Amino acid sequence: MHSAIVGVIAGLAITQVSILITTVYLHRSLSHKAVIFNRRVALLFRIVLWITTGIRPRQWVAVHRKHHAFTDVPGDPHSPVLLGFYRVQFGNVYYYRKEALNGDTVAKYARDLLPDRWDELLFDRSFVGLAIGISILALVGGWKIALVASIVHLVAYLGLSGAINAIGHSFGKRPYENLATNNTWLALMTCGEGLHNNHHAAPTAAKLSFLKGQIDPAWPIISLLVKLHLATVRLSAPKFKKQPAA
């Protein structure tokens, strides 16, 4: 198979793994405490995110919690309602970095996530993690595949992250009374994150699919880890007094 094709496939696969860990670990576990993972599983998630995204968990958590505190009103770090759809879709990483580097934001919204020895030794060195990730790709498949896979992953991960914030607050269904939206196709591409209206209706739910016909691809993974006694779910899905139609 041509190295470019292998690189594209590898890049998309890495993106899906990164998106999965972003939603189950950074989002549902660290940000909202909806699910708690075994320490070894959590460490594995941190390592994979470090070499595939370079994300510092407490920064991600702080930005996301601030988004919930100021959803689509002044103070929201990445609202398409305030900034415009295209700015958030294509510039989401800029707005994320701007807020993530705000020490006051991190101190206020991630006060429960103090740096530990792993952060000091490894995870706060984002570029080291990314360099290791690219080097692993090069050792396994060669530099051509590593280059193509890295570019594809960069574009896909940033594009999907932007879509969750831009499309997820602009277009789609709103079964619950909030400004976020549900998009089935986006949910399938983002391990459930496209069910954004559901999430804003019940942020502490570990399962993002509430209604008939909705699919949360990450939920079976969480359920498997629970069965293996590697995770504990606080709340799977909420019970509403009146359940809207999908």
Structure confidence at residue 239 (pLDDT)? 72
Residue-wise pLDDT for 171-216, tens only, equals 999 999 999 999 999 999 999 999 999 999 999 999 999 999 999 9
- Is residue 189, in this structure, part of any structural domain at all? yes
User: What predicted TM-score, i.e. pTM, was given to this entire model?
Assistant: 0.93
* Rounded (to 5) percent helix, strand, coil in the chain: 65, 5, 35
Q: Count how many domains the chain has.
A: 1
Q: Which residues of the chain have pLDDT under 50?
A: none
- Is residue 169, in this structure, part of any structural domain at all? yes
Helix (H) or strand (E) holding 232: strand 231-233
Structure confidence at residue 245 (pLDDT)? 55
- Is residue 207, in this structure, part of any structural domain at all? yes
- Is residue 238, in this structure, part of any structural domain at all? no
Answer left, alpha or beta for residue 192, where phi above 0 means left and psi between -120 and 50 means alpha.
left
The range of the structural domain enclosing residue 107 comes to 3-233
- Is residue 239, in this structure, part of any structural domain at all? no
Residue linked to tokens 């509430």: 210
Query: Beta strands 231-233 and 35-37: pairing type?
Result: antiparallel
Structure confidence at residue 154 (pLDDT)? 98
